[in-house]
Amino acid sequence: MNQSDQIEHDFSPFIRVYKNGRVERLLGVSSVPASVDPQTGVESKDVVISPETGLSARLYLPKLSDTLQKIPTLVYYHGGGFCIESAFSPTYHRYLNSLVAEANIVAVSVEYRLAPEHRLPIAYDDSWAALQWVASYASGGGPEAWLTDHADFDRLIVSGDSAGANIAHNLAMRAGREGVGHGVKINGAILIHPYFWGSQPVGMEVSFRKEGKPDLWTYLCPSTTGLDDPLVNPVADGAPDLSGLGCTRVLVCVAENDFLKERGWIYYRALESSGWKGTLEMYAVEEEGHVFHLFKPTCENAGLMLKRLAAFFNK
């Protein structure tokens, strides 16, 4: 057996890494082109944000009756454990089409670089660069007319699911420390089934960790201090105070059968008691599992969740 066949690290169902360095992604590898969605009329197109790094994004615009209408602006970060999936995958393309149509927003779905070829914190750096690129349009310049003509930067929302929700939280924290720039502030953050972790298992994590699965986080982020690194455990001892979160509204979403549910509740309660001055909301769905809305987009709970997110955008 040669090295191309020898597995060095098995992080199923996400990735396998072979001894010769080859990375095999087990999910989220397909892509679909930007288009006009026939069901919703939402139009999408792809843009390169940084030719140097390859950072790119897919922009979405709903059908608008007013050619100069300003609408809420979403910067979205896909999930996938920092190592699989894409802003261009069928799963996220379908979801963003639905969300943009329901909420009547302009959206930027970010294609950050994936680990382990690009180890963390590169995904955070890419995501921050994309947010700053979007904010740069607040001055009215730039080649992307969808942002220049329609983005309402007083209603700028960052969001993501799972690892993407982790990214959204960390960007809001960074915005609180540094500011986004260009006179822009993050209005809100929507954290959908956020991927937070910790050295001490809670809830359903106990049985999950008994299975003896290798730790993906420390492999993807070799510079980490461990499972209580504030990047992955925002409530750990010594983590930056959540009162510094740089947005004015937060919606946390959890699902009853998600093994990360407890982490979402812990985060919610910690933010609630931190002294942060914003408005905090929780949306808890019964019976469903982790990112169910992506895997079962036509189910009743997914439809209700879509409406709940749309209401958050349009408050």
Instruction: Name, in order, each residue with C-beta under 8 angstroms of 147's C-beta and a sequence gap of 6 or more.
Output: 59, 73, 106, 108, 134, 137
- CATH class, range 36-313: alpha beta
Q: Give whole-number Cα distances, 6 to 9, 16, 17, 217, in Å.
A: 9, 10, 9, 22
Kindly state the average pLDDT of the residues 256-274.
97
Kindly state the average pLDDT of the residues 57-71.
93
* pLDDT exceeds 90 at position 140: no
157, 109 contact by CB (below 8 A): no
What pLDDT shows up at residue 1?
Answer: 54
Query: What is the set of active-site residues?
Result: 162, 258, 290
Residue whose structure tokens are 């007083």: 154
CATH 3.40.50.1820: which residues of the chain? 36-313
The average confidence (pLDDT) of the chain is 96
Cα distance between the two ends of the chain: 60
Q: How far is CA 38 from the centre of its chain?
A: 26
Both structure tokens of 295: 């895997």
What pLDDT shows up at residue 212?
Answer: 66
Residue 209 pLDDT level (bands cut at 50, 70, 90): confident
